[in-house]
Amino acid sequence: ASDACLDDFPHILSSFSAFLDVMANRVTLYIFFQIMLIVWIDLACSSRLYRGTLGRARGARDVSCRESLGYTHDDMCCLKCPAGTYVKDHCMETFQRGSCEPCGFDTYTEHDNGLNQCLWCTKCRSGRSMLFSILSN
């Protein structure tokens, strides 16, 4: 019986070696995914902090955005469009200007703005006349 046990030893050793290889691969994969998770969390948090979406940083960004004559969109500070235009597409990076489009006929913006559309010109009530006209660019 003892010889039969020794005869199986190379097979058992080979099976154990294969088991260790599989476990080593699993451990390697586990470590790889743990590292990737840490990197992803670090990038996500640093991006949110940069864009100002965490606690105190957000308040500081809001003040900075107002001081720079910007407006807030998707937690970013976009630069305003000039008077006579509106925001066609918002900025993709903070402290950048998106695309601005001129106001159409019978619409206007009087100041730099972050509006999605121009304002309609006011129509006078019947019996009243317009004192002056604001023409858009």
Parse the chain into domains and list their residue ranges. Answer: 1-51, 70-120
Helices assigned H by DSSP within the chain: 2-51, 55-67
pLDDT tens track for 23-60: 777 778 778 777 777 777 777 766 554 454 444 445 55
Rounded-to-integer distance, Cα 106 and Cα 134, Å: 9
Does this model's pTM top 0.85? My answer is no
CATH superfamily of 70-120: Tumor Necrosis Factor Receptor, subunit A, domain 2 (2.10.50.10)
Q: Is the pLDDT score of 100 beyond 80?
A: yes
Rounded-to-integer distance, Cα 90 and Cα 137, Å: 21
Q: Are 94 and 57 in contact (CB under 8 A)?
A: no
pLDDT value of residue 90: 96
Q: Is the pLDDT score of 78 beyond 60?
A: yes
pLDDT value of residue 55: 43
Residue 124 CB contacts under 8 Å (≥ 6 apart), including other chains: 130
